[in-house]
Structures are given as structure tokens and as C-alpha cells.
């Protein structure tokens, strides 16, 4: 069995996929080439990922380079989905050497999915309510002994129903497990770790070894390879997405745009010079163009659009 890729390897492959699309769309742009070269030379993992991406891209040899890239983008894929789509199309080629192919297949064959920008509500067989945030994938495993959701990627909100047979309800991730204690809660799976936040009652968070940590309503915690983090208080921003809002409270612009980018196809980024600008406000996730307009109107920022799918936020003089 192949060894699971590290978070750094996963991120290197994702960056290589993004660079592949960016360079395919660029027309002999020296600045873009210089940025790519700096990225390529900065880390051996970047060079390895780029070599695999080049090998995989040969499968698009039948298409002109710009057409191949625009086909990927025009299909409505977000940055992560470009990567996932290529993995499936190429039979796992670029990712097989990283031992990631099986992970991707499980995500794409999951019982429940939500598209980029979609929030999807599902009522489960036991009466529980499940809300999938954008770009999420979940498997449902209910039997006579347990009720379990397996969250592969993305974010979910669970409102559990009481079960007459007292089967425990849990959400499993590759990082650990969240056991519901008659509750309403969210679970988010990222590349490096996961997060649980409790809206009502309580949950227990545990790694697959070690003692669980109990969370009460109004609390949240991150968990992953480094263990279970410090329990912290949560606020309205934790579940604002269910009502179509992204709430920022003194949040760096770079982090805000990273969150907003999950709700739109293509590349959304900011100039490093303004990445640390602190932002507070509420932004609509169902209309990310309106969110960018509000950001530009309320802060000394400008939105530069190279294409509909390539947007950069820069400082405004």
C-alpha cells in the first residue's frame, strides 16, 4: 500500500495544478514566468510536483494548450476541482506516485456531494438534518449499531435527531472523530487538519488514539496530526455560511479571500502587499462578485480581473 502523502506534498501538487492552468492561460508573460520559476526553484517538493504535472499534461496533447486550460476552467471547476478532475481523467497519473489516487476516488464516489458555490440540505434516514457547504463530499453509513458520516472534504452542519435504538451518531474524518451528544454542530475538513464547532448541547472530539475532548455549545477546536488543539470560544462566523454569509472579524485579507474562493470557480488571490490587511464585515457567499464589490467599496482595495476566472485584489492608491 502506498504511503499517504504529507500535507506539504498535497499542497505542492495543488500549487503545481494551479500553475499549470495559469501558465496555459498566459501569453508569454515574463512576470508570470518569473513567478513560476521562483516557486519551482524554492522547494524540492515543488519540482517533483511539477515534473508529475508535466507528465500528466501529455494526456491533453490532442488539445491546443490554451484550449486545454480553458476547457478545465470553463467547466466550472474551482482550483481544487481542476486538480481532482485531472486526477480522474488521467486515471490518477500525476497523483499515483504520491499515493493519493484512492483518496480522490473515495471523494468523487461519495454518497453526497455539493458543487462549488452550492449549499445542499439533506434529510437522513433517522430524521437528522445535514447541510453541506460548498465543494463537500460525505459518505453515509447507518446500520443497526451506529449512525456515521464520513466527511472527505469540505464542511457540514449536522442537526441530529433522537434515535429510538440509541445508536451513536458520529462524523469521521481522516484526522479524527466527532461524537454527537444530542446536538447541533459543524465539522470542517481542510488539507492540514479539521475543526469542530458546537452550536447546541455538546460533542466529543477524539483522534483515533487517545482520550476524547468534550466541547460545549459555543466552543470549537481544531484537530489533526499534531493532536487536539486548545478549545476556544466560537462566534456567529462559525455557522454564518448556512445563511449565505461570510463574517470576518479582524481577519487578514488573504484568509478572507481564501475562504471566499471556495464559493467561486477559478483563481481568487491578493497581492502579498495587502494580504495582512485586517478586514471586518459580512460578505455574501451566494454572490461573490457582490462580495468583491463591497470589499472594494469599503477598503482601500481594487479588484483586478484578467478573466472571469482569474481575479486579484490589490491595494488602491
CA angle 308, 310, 311 (to 5 degrees): 90
Nearest partner of 293 among 313, 273, 278, judged by Cα: 313
Residues in the chain: 317
Q: What pLDDT does 189 receive?
A: 94
Boundaries of every domain in the chain: 7-108, 112-238, 244-315
Residue spans of alpha helices (H) in the chain:
7-25, 30-41, 44-57, 65-74, 79-89, 93-96, 101-108, 253-260, 288-298
Given a contact cutoff of 8 angstroms between Cβ atoms, the answer to whether 219 and 232 are in contact is yes
Q: Which residue has the cell 488514539?
A: 209
Instruction: Give the pLDDT score at 145.
Output: 92
d(CA 100, CA 28): 33
The torsion region of residue 190 among left (phi > 0), alpha (psi -120 to 50) and beta comes to: beta
pLDDT number for residue 2 = 40
How far are the Cα atoms of 185, 202, 249, 288, 297 from residue 80, in angstroms, in the given order?
A: 25, 32, 26, 17, 29
d(CA 68, CA 87): 15
Q: Which of 156, 110, 164 is nearest to 137 (CA)?
A: 110
Q: What is the rounded CA–CA span in Å between residue 37 and residue 188?
A: 34
d(C-alpha 185, C-alpha 219), whole Å: 10
Q: Which residue has the cell 475562504?
A: 259
Query: In the 8-state DSSP scheme, what is residue 28?
Result: S
CATH architecture of 112-238: Sandwich (2.60)
Q: Which residue has the cell 506534498?
A: 9
Indicate the SS3 state at residue 143.
coil
d(CA 184, CA 93): 40
CA 128 – CA 184 distance, rounded (Å): 10
Q: Which fold has domain 244-315?
A: Phage tail protein beta-alpha-beta fold (3.55.50)
Burial class for 283, CB neighbours closer than 10 Å (0-12, 13-18, 19+): buried
Residue 221: per-residue pLDDT: 97
**Rounded Cα gap, residues 133 and 129, in angstroms:** 13
Predicted confidence at residue 17, as pLDDT, reads 74
Digit-by-digit pLDDT tens for the chain (317 residues) are 344 556 676 777 777 777 776 676 555 677 777 888 888 888 878 877 777 666 555 444 443 333 333 334 444 444 444 444 444 443 344 444 444 444 555 666 788 999 889 999 999 999 999 999 999 999 999 999 999 999 999 999 999 999 888 899 999 999 999 999 989 999 999 888 999 999 999 999 999 888 999 999 999 999 999 999 999 998 878 889 999 999 998 999 999 999 999 999 888 999 999 999 999 999 999 999 999 999 999 999 999 998 888 899 999 87
pLDDT the model gives residue 52 = 67
**DSSP states of 282-311 as a string?**
EEESS-HHHHHHHHHHHTTEEEEEEETTEE
- Decide if 65 contacts 58 (C-beta within 8 A): no
The per-residue pLDDT for 56 is 54
The neighbour count for residue 30, using CB atoms within 10 Å, is 8
Amino acid at each position: 500500500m502506498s504511503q499517504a502523502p504529507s500535507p506539504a506534498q498535497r499542497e505542492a501538487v495543488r500549487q503545481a495544478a494551479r500553475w499549470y492552468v495559469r501558465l496555459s492561460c498566459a501569453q508569454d508573460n515574463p512576470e508570470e514566468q518569473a513567478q513560476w520559476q521562483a516557486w519551482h526553484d524554492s522547494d524540492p517538493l515543488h519540482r517533483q510536483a511539477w515534473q508529475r504535472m508535466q507528465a500528466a499534461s501529455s494526456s491533453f496533447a490532442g488539445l491546443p494548450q490554451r484550449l486545454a486550460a480553458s476547457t478545465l476552467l470553463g467547466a466550472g471547476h474551482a482550483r481544487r476541482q481542476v486538480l481532482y478532475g485531472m486526477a480522474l481523467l488521467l486515471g490518477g497519473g500525476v497523483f499515483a506516485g504520491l499515493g493519493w489516487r484512492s483518496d480522490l476516488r473515495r471523494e468523487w464516489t461519495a454518497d453526497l456531494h455539493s458543487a462549488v458555490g452550492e449549499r445542499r440540505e439533506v434529510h437522513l434516514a433517522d430524521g437528522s438534518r445535514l447541510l453541506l457547504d460548498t465543494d463537500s463530499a460525505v459518505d453515509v453509513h447507518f446500520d443497526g449499531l451506529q449512525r456515521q458520516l464520513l466527511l472527505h472534504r469540505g464542511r457540514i452542519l449536522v442537526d441530529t435527531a433522537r434515535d429510538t435504538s440509541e445508536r451513536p451518531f458520529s462524523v469521521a474524518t481522516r484526522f479524527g472523530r466527532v461524537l454527537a451528544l444530542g446536538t447541533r454542530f459543524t465539522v470542517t475538513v481542510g488539507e492540514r487538519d479539521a475543526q469542530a464547532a458546537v452550536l447546541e448541547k455538546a460533542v466529543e472530539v477524539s483522534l483515533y488514539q487517545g482520550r476524547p475532548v468534550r466541547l460545549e455549545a459555543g466552543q470549537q477546536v481544531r484537530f489533526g496530526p499534531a493532536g487536539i488543539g486548545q478549545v476556544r470560544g466560537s462566534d456567529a462566523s462559525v455557522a454564518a455560511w448556512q445563511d449565505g454569509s461570510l463574517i470576518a472579524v479582524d481577519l487578514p485579507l488573504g484568509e478572507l479571500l481564501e475562504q471566499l474562493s471556495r464559493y467561486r470557480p477559478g483563481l481568487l488571490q491578493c497581492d502579498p502587499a495587502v494580504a495582512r490587511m485586517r478586514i471586518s464585515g459580512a460578505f455574501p457567499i451566494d454572490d461573490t462578485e457582490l462580495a468583491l464589490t463591497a470589499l472594494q467599496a469599503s477598503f482601500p482595495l481594487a479588484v483586478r480581473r484578467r478573466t472571469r476566472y482569474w481575479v486579484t485584489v490589490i491595494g488602491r492608491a
